[in-house]
Amino acid sequence: MAWENELGDKLFRENMQNVAPTGIIQYYNLVIQSGSGATITDVEGKQYIDLLGSASAANIGHNHPHLVEALQDQISKIVSYDCGYFTNPTSLKLGERLTKIAPGSRARKVSFGTSGSDANDGVIKFARAATGRQYIVSYEGAYHGSTFGALTAGACDTAMVHKVGPLVPGIVHVPYPDLYRHLKDETPHDIAQRYFAAFKRPFETYLPADEVACVLMEPIQGDAGIIKPPAEYVELVYQFCQDHGILFAVDEINQGLGRAGKMWSIEHFGIEPDLISTGKSLAGGLPLSAVIGNADVMDSLGTSAHVFTAGGNPLVAAASMAVLDVLEDGHLPEKSAKDGEYAKENFLKLMDKYEFIGDVRMFGLNGGIEIVKDRETKEPDNDAAAKIIFRAFQKGLILVKLNGNVLRFQPPLVITRDQLDQVFTTMDEVFADLEHGRIELPDELKNMVW
Ligand SMILES: Cc1ncc(COP(=O)(O)O)c(C=O)c1O
């Protein structure tokens, strides 16, 4: 067996016996003991550089001392209390802070939850309530989460909806612009226009615009493979929304909080959204999410229409205050932008060397590296991507893939230059191993799902 870590392997298998398969995205047998900054240590003491960043939930790095201290301090006061009934100074401060850091200058209010998924359900509820309209337009390729509303709004993998229907009615999907796989000789302008025409088609055929509550969009699609649409397209959609009284909502759960080189990924487009869903890194991966929206929109739902026992509780609120301190004081969005450029240069150098790298997309420390069979046809090579991440794991990098063939590069934003250099040296070795046919996948890894 190609596994090197016996204890990890044993514990991994034990976990598979107890936890329902739906909760496990199987890659390799890593079992984590501890983490610090951009590194993770497994149960056998082996250290890895974390290029997954806990699925973009560890933007400030693992166990940041400021976060740990804030948690310890809060624990000594009160761990949790249902804020739906009675709030506390920490949760109160966080509510105010979140209304201030949302992009733009509008008056905002916030609604807390415990997962990105419930935040997107919230977006659907608030949008419907505020407009009195039923339809939601979202995107093919989107991942919005696992609760019913979020699941229905997403559209990235049939396995997610298989056997669980019926889903939520009134959600329509339109295609998301792709600057990589496009028609021959198309410019970004052509692509923006073609996809905007596709966006409008439902409105011209079966979807009355005055019955649409909101468009929900990831400004950069994460799980689809880190895909950024042309700015012109986003502007056209936003203008269409303005013209028809449709709210414009953005899912910042994966791409927000510095990940994409700005505090919020929608800032790449200079647009002020009406509703924002956020989560993941918001409390350093602890269960906290929020819908932040225009005050009048957020006032549209009455008591208990969107409230959760643990939503915004004092402990996660303390964590979130600490996360926001670290992001702001450490200028992590700016660091992400700068280091993202450095990472892009390095991946492009590797692309010069290895034909199987079809595209390098990098927006902040936030990349999708396409592994293809042929640069001309751009045919995805899922098998090669699986081999790469397996060898990377053996060499001390935690790396997974998106959409079958796209390497996911989302390290904690605190990753150092030395660590980044180590990553690129290792990736070069991994790619060379692939090129020379030196990677054999263990049988059980031949069916990696994502
Ligand atoms: C863009 C996006 N939205 C929503 C979610 C769902 O968040 P959660 O898993 O916290 O429910 C995710 C999770 O990966 C995500 O990437």
Mean pLDDT of 68-88: 97
Radius of gyration of the chain (CA): 22
Contacts of 418 (CB under 8 A, 6+ apart): none
Q: Judge whether 403 and 156 are in contact, CB under 8 Å.
A: yes
Residue 2 has pLDDT above 50, yes or no: no
DSSP category for residue 176? P
Environment class of 48 (CB within 10 Å of its CB; exposed 0-12, middle 13-18, buried 19+): buried
Ligand 1: centre distance to CA 220 (Å): 13
Buried b / exposed e along 242-262 (16+ C-beta atoms within 10 A): eeeebbbbbbbbbbbbbbbbb
Domain ranges of the chain: 67-329, 332-414
- The whole-angstrom separation of Cα 183 and Cα 39 is 41
Structure tokens belonging to residue 14: 């034990």
- The number of the ligand 1 atom at minimal distance from the alpha carbon of 218 is 1
The pairing of beta strand 406-409 with beta strand 47-50: unpaired
Ligand 1: centre distance to CA 231 (Å): 23
Residue 418 has pLDDT above 60, yes or no: yes
Give the range among 54-58, 130-134, 434-438, 443-447 with minimum mean pLDDT. Answer: 443-447
Tell me what pLDDT residue 391 has.
97
Ligand 1: centre distance to CA 175 (Å): 19
pLDDT, tens digit, for every residue of 5-25? Answer: 788 888 888 888 899 989 988
Residue 140 CA to its chain's centroid (Å): 15
Residue 161 has pLDDT above 80, yes or no: yes
Ligand 1 is surrounded, with C-beta below 6 A, by: 55, 115-117, 120, 143-146, 218, 222-223, 251, 253-254, 279-280
Ligand 1: centre distance to CA 241 (Å): 24
- The number of the ligand 1 atom at minimal distance from the alpha carbon of 287 is 10
Residue 3 has pLDDT above 70, yes or no: no
Q: What would the DSSP string read from start to end of 327-360?
A: HHHTTHHHHHHHHHHHHHHHHHHHHHH-TTEEEE
- The number of the ligand 1 atom at minimal distance from the alpha carbon of 146 is 11
Residue 296 has pLDDT above 60, yes or no: yes
Q: What would the DSSP string read from start to end of 238-294?
A: HHHHHHHT-EEEEE-TTTTTTTTSSSSGGGGTT---SEEEE-GGGGTTSS-EEEEEE
- The number of the ligand 1 atom at minimal distance from the alpha carbon of 255 is 1
Helices (H), 76-212: 89-101, 116-131, 148-153, 158-161, 188-205
- The number of the ligand 1 atom at minimal distance from the alpha carbon of 115 is 10
Tell me what pLDDT residue 4 has.
65
Tell me what pLDDT residue 41 has.
98
Ligand 1: centre distance to CA 395 (Å): 28
Ligand 1: centre distance to CA 23 (Å): 14
Ligand 1: centre distance to CA 275 (Å): 16
Mean pLDDT of 53-57: 98
Q: Return the closest-CA partner of residue 268 out of 277, 281, 255.
A: 255
Q: Which amino acid makes up residue 32?
A: I
The pairing of beta strand 275-278 with beta strand 212-217: unpaired
pLDDT, tens digit, for every residue of 332-347? Answer: 999 999 999 999 999 9
Ligand 1: centre distance to CA 123 (Å): 13
- The number of the ligand 1 atom at minimal distance from the alpha carbon of 252 is 1
| Mutate-to-test residue for ligand 1 from 54, 280, 286, 288, highest number of ligand atoms within 8 A of CB | 280
Whose CA is closest to atom 7 on ligand 1? 116
Ligand 1: centre distance to CA 56 (Å): 9
Ligand 1: centre distance to CA 161 (Å): 15
Ligand 1: centre distance to CA 297 (Å): 22
Task: Return mean pLDDT, the chain.
Answer: 96
| Mutate-to-test residue for ligand 1 from 138, 144, 223, highest number of ligand atoms within 8 A of CB | 144
**Residue 444: pLDDT band with limits 50, 70, 90:** confident
Tell me what pLDDT residue 1 has.
39
Residue 382 has pLDDT above 50, yes or no: yes
| Mutate-to-test residue for ligand 1 from 22, 124, 143, highest number of ligand atoms within 8 A of CB | 143
More confident residue, 447 or 380: 380
Q: Which amino acid makes up residue 42?
A: D
In CATH terms, the fold of domain 67-329 is: Aspartate Aminotransferase; domain 2 (3.40.640)
Whose CA is closest to atom 3 on ligand 1? 144
- The number of the ligand 1 atom at minimal distance from the alpha carbon of 147 is 11
Architecture of domain 332-414: Alpha-Beta Complex (3.90)
